A and B are shown apart, each in its own frame.
Chain A
C-alpha cells in the first residue's frame, strides 16, 4: 500500500515537471532566444526552459512574449 502511494507521488511529480517543461510562449516582438541561439519573429512559438520563473514572468509582464499555455498537458 505504501509502495503504491510512493509511485503515485512519483507520477504526480513527473507530471508537474512535464507540465512545466511544456509551457509555450509566443513572441510579441523580435527576440533573441539565448537557449536556442536564434531569433524568433513576432508570432513564433517556443519554450523558455532555460530561464527562471522570475525571468519568464518579467518577459510576459513587459510584453516581450505571451504565455500560450501547455498544449500537450492533457495527453498525459
Chain B
C-alpha cells in the first residue's frame, strides 16, 4: 500500500471553549498542548471450564480527563482569567479542538459539557525565566467528531 500523504501535526490546531455549547471562544493563542484524549471502555472477562480463552464483554465508556497546557496571563479577556471563575464556581464548560485549524471541511472534536477539575494557580521557580504555564484538567463524558461547515 502506498505511503500516506495525509499525515498531520498539531502545529496549526485550534482550541476553543464555550460556556453554552454554541458560542465558542478561540484560546489557541494561549494554549499549547492538548493531552488525555484517549477514552477507555469498561470491559469484563470470565473463563469457563471449556475452551482456552476468555469470554470478553464490553461495558460503558469511561469519562475522559483532557489536559490543556495554557500560558498564564492576567488580562481579563485571556483564557486563564476567563476560565478561572468557572473552575471556582464548579460551572460546566465545553471545549473543542480541530487539528487542522477549524476551517471548512476540517474535522473538529467537541466535548460534552464537563467540568474543570484541576486548575493551577501560578507557580514556578526564580531561575529559568520560563513563562508561567499551567495544566488544566477537564472532565467530560465524551467528545464527538464532526466536520466544520
Partners in one complex: yes
Q: Which A positions have Cβ atoms within 8 angstroms of B?
A: 27, 29-34, 37-40, 48, 51, 55, 58-59, 62, 64-65
Complex Cα spacing A48 to B18, Å: 23
B91 at the interface (CB under 8 A from A): no
**Contact status A30-B145, CB under 8 Å:** yes
Chain A residue at smallest Cβ distance from B22: A37
* B window 65-110: CB within 8 A of A: 104-105, 108, 110
B73 shortest CB reach to chain A, Å? 27
Complex Cα spacing A65 to B104, Å: 11
Give the number of chain B interface residues (Cβ < 8 Å).
12
**Contact status A58-B105, CB under 8 Å:** yes
Contacts of B144 in A (CB 8 A): 30
Q: Given A64-B149, A65-B149, decide whether A32 and B104 contact each other with a Cβ distance below 8 A.
A: no
Contact partner of B147 (CB less than 8 A), chosen from A30, A37, A48, A55, is A30
Chain A binding site: helix, strand, loop or mixed by DSSP? mixed
Using A32-B108, A48-B149, A59-B105 as known contacts, list a sample of 13 further A-B pairs with CB atoms less than 8 Å apart, ordered by residue number in A: A32-B110, A32-B146, A32-B147, A32-B148, A34-B149, A38-B22, A51-B149, A55-B105, A58-B104, A59-B104, A59-B149, A62-B105, A64-B147
B125 at the interface (CB under 8 A from A): no
B45 at the interface (CB under 8 A from A): no
Contacts of A40 in B (CB 8 A): 149
- Contact string, B119-149, partner A, CB cutoff 8 A, digits 1/0? 0000000000000000000000000111111
Complex Cα spacing A33 to B108, Å: 11
Contacts of A31 in B (CB 8 A): 146-149
Contacts of A37 in B (CB 8 A): 22-23
**Contact status A30-B23, CB under 8 Å:** no
A9 shortest CB reach to chain B, Å? 33
**Contact status B147-A51, CB under 8 Å:** no
**Contact status A33-B104, CB under 8 Å:** no
